[in-house]
Amino acid sequence: MKSKSRQLMLGLMLVGGAAGSLAMSLAWAQSETASDPVAEYRAMFGDDNPAELWIARGQDLWNQVRGPKGLSLAKSCDLGLGAGVVKGAYAHMPRYFADTRKVQDLDSRLLTCMVQGQGLDEATILKNRFGDGDRKSDLEALASYIVDASKGVAISLPLDHPQEKQAYETGKAIFFYRAATHDFSCATCHGQVGKRIRLQQLPDLAQAGPDARATYTTWPAYRVSQGEVRTMEWRIGDCFRQQRLPELKYGSEAAIDLTMFLAKNAEGGKMAAPGLKR
């Protein structure tokens, strides 16, 4: 805390009484608002983002020959633009895939490629779906590499397939659906401009606009508070947890449909992920 803020706090403490307590609370809130850990991190490290480590590991995993089928993802995994093509792929996902006959986001598509394409064990992969300290996730590393390859590419989801249109509509319905012990929906926190919880600004994700574009295009992201890169699958799952909803199964239709809704609302925004979050 800066010396002027300290002097102000000391002065308020001397005032005493209810008025002094109220003023002190307001001063503390103001000082907390001014303190942004992510802004401080950027000031210290400039453009450096620890996600670069995940990107490098993801690129290595993408090109590695692995699994019983002896294939690399670079030779066998189609993210929608052809086998092995990563440039711009994330900007056009979720999307319908003919081989699985369903709409998939990046997380679920990677799982398909690793299990069906390389022959890796799904249960083993999902044990480490989210990294935690020394235990790193292959899925998060691969996602970081693929997302980084879409930097500067504008999001475009034409919704040409009937299942893509249905995914968007279902995602929209889920976004506004109130449930669980708190009677919350996604829109409770993210349904209007300028809303806050405590000192945290909440983006409006309910409609197409600058908030939706700025938010979606910076995920996946490195979270300073966790020391890990997190994907959109993790972000949605954590929102469900905060709403006290049942835990999302990894790659569930609910997560994919919500991602489709959010991505469509962010259409036209240029990808800037992996981002840097608090």
From the candidates 77, 113, 189, 239, which is the catalytic residue? Answer: 239
Give yes or no: 189 in active site: no
**Paired residues of 230 in beta bridges:** 221
If we measure between CA atoms, which residue out of 34, 36, 32 comes closest to residue 276? 36
What residue spans of the chain are helical by DSSP H?
3-15, 17-34, 37-45, 51-63, 73-76, 106-112, 122-127, 138-148, 162-176, 186-190, 210-216, 232-242, 253-265
What does the alpha-carbon distance between residue 218 and residue 271 come to, in Å, rounded to a whole number? 7
What does the alpha-carbon distance between residue 233 and residue 218 come to, in Å, rounded to a whole number? 14
C-alpha separations of 85 from 77, 146, 147, 209, 239 in Å: 8, 9, 12, 29, 31
If we measure between CA atoms, which residue out of 110, 121, 97, 118 comes closest to residue 220? 110
Determine the residue type at 58.
Answer: G
What does the alpha-carbon distance between residue 85 and residue 64 come to, in Å, rounded to a whole number? 15
Angle at CA 37, nearest 5°, toward 9 and 13? 10
Catalytic positions are: 239
